[in-house]
Amino acid sequence: MAKTQKEQKNVGAGTGRLIGVVVPVGALRGEQSCGVGEFPDLIELGSLCAQMGVGLIQILPVNDTGYESSPYGSLTAFALNPLYLRIGDLAEAGGFTEQLGALKREFDGEIRFPYPKILRAKMSLLREIYGAHEKAIAARAKPGASLAVWIDENPWVKAYAVYRHLKESNEERAWKEWKAHRTVTAGDIEALWDDPKQRGAHLFWVWLQEALDVQFSGAAKALNKAGILLEGDIPILMNEDSCDVWAHPEYFHRDLSAGAPPDMYNVNGQNWGFPTYNWTAQAKDDYSWWRRRLKTAEKYYTAYRIDHVLGFFRIWSSLRENCFDNAILGRYVPYVPITKKDLEELRFDEGRIRWLSRPHIPTAEVWGALEDIRNQWGNHDGAAAAAAAERIFNEALDRIGDEELWLFKGSVKGEEGIAGLGLPPAATDYLRRAWRNRLFLEYEKGKFFPVWLFRESRAYRSLSEDERNALEALLEKRLAESEKIWENQGKKLLSVLLDSSGMLPCAEDLGAVPDCVPKVLAKLKILGLRVTRWHRDWEKPGQPYYAFEDYPELSVCAPSVHDSSTLREWWDKEADQDGFSAFLGVPSLPKVYNPGTAKIILTKTAAAASRLRVFPIQDLLHLSTKWYAEDPASERVNVPGYATDFNWTYRLPASIKTIGKDETLIKSVQELATIAPKKKKGL
């Protein structure tokens, strides 16, 4: 039975100060794993953590992502990734010793694991094993038998097995590209599941998930017995190409793409490509999908990281046809809109409202852009430029009367529509920039949202000072009204999560954080995240770091995260070394990172007032000279914004057993585990 919210708060309050390690499961090198970390390797890691005094292991998401290496691009909210299955532990694997040995020899020597290649190799062997035991497995699926009981206890597996079989039958294409069954009902899925011709294909996926559940549950129980908390990662969003979006379209806004607004690191914003949630629809069945998701996670985890917790308050959303590869024309959902009536009260008539909300393109600007194109061509081809101009004016734009101003045609639907015109690349780029040049986004008729970079728009620059002041005051009012809505929504949705499980909740609350977020997290006793290099007072001169003793007790302190550089790479290539050294009170830190530097920085971090202090395993390994890669960039888990074979494939530099023999490392981490919090001045 799920703990009540009151009982959940007691769980959070009862968790004492701990240090933890963050490591992707795939990064582990166990004695029996085959080229990639597997769930049973967590037991080996737990033994090492117990030796070092580490009380928490935090992992990245482990749901099935198909052949996509990012753990945040899941095909399912429930099923586990077959990559992490230890094939040799299967009861049916007894006659496949030679194949397992070949698998291990092929992949164990890799510095980073080749995700698609090793997954295909493991799946091929699993198919072979299943084929040899299909009749016996089918017998276990008969009513009352063990596999049938497991299916009854995990009803999500039916839709998942049907989805995976259909995806495989369609050469792994996204469900929107399938030949059939792109749109289904619950009855359709049940009929497909019951089809006797597909029974064997479906049971393959069920058999895999049962085996993964057994191995992951076994590892979780072993860690619990050793007194080590296992913290999972619950991504807030679902891949559009997922079983959940396919089977439950009512729970999602599939026309919207979630992301983040522009910032100093991403000038075009972030467009993640994931649909947003239809919270109104989910409320109708008391958020049953989320409740099931949390209960499934609780089978394994003692604590969980709520990914992008800001999205429960409000989510940055872009129309898919608008955004293409950016999120500049996104908007917050929910948000109290600026209405046509609001603008009319500010004395903007119909024409000026159009001026504020639709891009207006001067004729001369188009020719100027084409002159740039001609210069890029190098031959100053006037005929080609004239032809491009004719196409732009004829196919993309409509002239406003006799003015030297143009609007986009009504047939042009966002940046995707512009790209589809087939214009020269430079012309397409110009029109895409012009499409974004507006003060307001009219996302519904008569409802407007201020574009994130609205102050840079042609429309805003044309306003008088009085008009700007009046408009800014209106925007401030709407922001304050929206913040109240965000606070209520965040409190309501997070309360649902807390009421659904007894796990300790930890929130990833990075980014442009509304004032209501820390208030709600504190009220619900959810631990927020404080990343040392970013936990600064950005509004003060010099942007000083917050003192470690001032970190909230209800927080998780970390020197780096999976999307950032390691502490070593940050220090060597990115940090203001003098400023950070002064903050630490150690002005003579060396310019090149070494174990001494690591010990000083990690010791200071471990003294933070935060209840949990968690360290990526790379940052801990740098306490010993044995584990320094030649290139610090090679030790990263992920470089955001790039889809490469490098991302998400980090492996430990040696086996867990070998690392456990490093006495210098063990002793240094043991010392971190015993550090008491630094007291505030004057106490």
Distances (CA, A) of 569 to 314, 564, 622, 624, 678: 33, 9, 11, 16, 27
What mean pLDDT comes out for the span 142-154? 98
What strands lie across the sheet with 440-444, from one edge to the other? 338-339, 447-450, 440-444
Pairwise CA distance, residues 317 & 298, whole Å: 30
| Structure token pair of residue 408 | 């986009």
pLDDT in tens, 332-369: 999 999 999 999 999 999 999 999 999 999 999 888 87
How far out from the chain centre does Cα 471 lie?
35
Rounded distance, CA 351 to CA 111, Å?
A: 62
Query: Would you say residue 3 has pLDDT above 60?
Result: no
84 pLDDT more than 60: yes
- Strands (E) across 452-600 are located at 504-507, 528-531, 555-558
Which residues are 231's β-sheet partners? 58, 303
Quick one: DSSP state of residue 680? P
Cα separation, 302 vs 505, whole angstroms: 9
324 or 523, greater pLDDT: 523
Distance between CA 259 and CA 255 in Å, rounded?
A: 13
CA angle 675, 676, 679 (to 5 degrees): 135
The residue type found at 486 is: W
- Tokens, residue 608: 């933070």
The yes-or-no verdict on residue 384 having pLDDT over 80 is: no
Q: What's the mean pLDDT when you consider all of the chain?
A: 94
**This prediction's pTM:** 0.93
pLDDT attached to residue 682: 54
| pLDDT over threshold 90, residue 681 | no
What's the CA gap between 13 and 17, in Å, rounded?
11
**SS3 of residue 518 by DSSP:** helix
Q: Where are the beta strands (DSSP E) in 32-110?
A: 56-58
> What is residue 5's predicted lDDT score, i.e. its pLDDT?
38
- For 138, half-sphere exposure in the C-beta direction (CA atoms, 13 angstrom radius) is 11
For residue 14, what pLDDT is reported?
Answer: 52
pLDDT of residue 382: 66
With contact defined as beta carbons under 8 Å apart, do 345 and 282 qualify?
no
* Residue 683 predicted with pLDDT over 70: no
The 10s digit of each residue's pLDDT in 63-73 is: 999 999 999 99
Residue 355 is classified by DSSP as: H
542's CB contacts (< 8 A; 6+ apart) are 579
* Type of residue found at 105: R
Q: Is the pLDDT of residue 2 over 60?
A: no
Q: Which residue, chain included where needed, has tokens 């006799």?
A: 402
Sheet (strand 256-260) strand order: 270-271, 256-260, 315-319, 331-333
pLDDT exceeds 80 at position 13: no
Identify whether the C-beta of residue 215 lies closer than 8 Å to the C-beta of residue 44: no
CA dist 467 → 285, 461, 477 (Å): 46, 11, 15
pLDDT at 289: 98
Three-state DSSP at 368 gives helix
Summarize the confidence of residues 147-156 as an average pLDDT. 98
Domain boundaries, the chain: 1-30+529-640+655-683, 331-477
Residue 126, token pair as written in the block: 């699993």
Whole-angstrom distance, CA of residue 275 vs CA of residue 286: 20
Confidence of residue 374 (pLDDT cuts 50, 70, 90): low
The pLDDT value recorded for residue 375 is 62
| Overall average pLDDT of the 246-260 stretch | 96
How far apart are the C-alpha atoms of 562 and 61, rounded to whole Å? 12
Is the model more confident about 378 or about 57? 57
Question: Position of tokens 């081809």?
Answer: 381
**C-beta atoms surrounding 347 within 10 Å:** 9
**Is the pLDDT reported for residue 403 higher than 90?**
yes
Strand 555-558's sheet: what is its strand order? 504-507, 303-306, 229-234, 56-58, 18-22, 612-616, 555-558, 528-531
Task: Please give the structure tokens belonging to residue 37.
Answer: 């970390």
d(CA 192, CA 198): 8
What's the confidence (pLDDT) of residue 371? 74
Pick from 333, 335, 309: nearest CA to 258: 333
> Rounded mean pLDDT of 24-33?
97
Alpha helix (H) ranges present in 248-346? 279-284, 288-298, 310-313, 320-323, 340-345
- Cα 532 from chain centroid (whole Å): 20
pLDDT band at 372 (very low <50, low <70, confident <90, very high): low
How distant is the alpha carbon of residue 453 from its chain centre?
24
CA–CA separation, 152 and 465 (whole Å): 67
- Looking at per-residue pLDDT, the higher value among 340 and 372 belongs to 340
3-class SS of residue 91: helix
